[in-house]
Copies of this chain bind each other. A is one copy, B any other.
């Protein structure tokens, strides 16, 4: 037996209502994910404090995927964290990975490989940090699945004494 239910001034079958409810729930979840769950793209990070840079050269085993210049930036909260050793909630650290361009023995920045982001929410089980990666220049194409995030933290947790941060502020 089909039960009809009244929605507004229209009568819909109950199964239809479930579809509507599921759609609304899905939209709500998607909206929550967009606003709460996802680490936001770090707008304006190129104006943040430059923490340090390094160059991964051909002698490194990870050259194929990581070779080139890397630049690390800290927002205001994270810059305080580098100074005090404890990163307050809201700290964001960005690692900018660029392909190498070499001319006459001088390496400069090529196209962006990816942008790695650490956000301190102070709540996440992974030391209070959340991890994200944006592919190339994309602000939307995300590379971190839950499994990747686990791997991020598996490495970062070695630095618990530095609040799980590897880099230090170059003087």
A contact residues vs B (CB 8 Å cutoff): 46-47, 49-50, 52-61, 63, 69, 71, 73, 102, 104-109, 170-171
Known A46-B49, A53-B69; further 19 A-B contacts with Cβ < 8 A: A46-B170, A46-B171, A50-B50, A50-B73, A52-B109, A53-B71, A54-B109, A55-B107, A57-B57, A57-B102, A57-B105, A57-B107, A58-B105, A59-B104, A60-B104, A60-B105, A61-B105, A63-B105, A109-B170
> Are A56 and B108 closer than 8 Å at their CB atoms?
no
A61 to chain B: which residues have CB within 8 Å? Answer: 104-105
Is the CB–CB distance between A59 and B109 below 8 Å?
Answer: no
CA distance A171 to B59 in the complex (A): 27
* A contact patch SS: strand
**Number of copies of chain A assembled together:** 2
Given contacts A50-B46, A73-B50, contact A57 B171 (CB under 8 A): no
- Write 27 A-B pairs (CB below 8 A) sorted by A numbering: A46-B49, A46-B50, A46-B170, A47-B49, A50-B71, A52-B108, A52-B109, A53-B53, A53-B69, A53-B109, A54-B108, A54-B109, A55-B55, A55-B107, A56-B105, A57-B57, A57-B102, A57-B105, A57-B107, A58-B105, A59-B104, A60-B104, A60-B105, A60-B106, A61-B104, A61-B105, A63-B105
Whether B71 contacts A106 by the Cβ 8 Å rule is no
How long is the Cα–Cα vector from A23 to B57 in the complex, in angstroms?
Answer: 56
Name which of A46, A53, A109 has the most chain B CB atoms within 10 A of its CB. A53
Which residues of chain B are within 8 angstroms of A55 by Cβ–Cβ distance? 55, 69, 106-107
Smallest Cβ distance from A141 to chain B, in angstroms? 18
Distance between A41 CB and nearest chain B CB, rounded to angstroms: 15
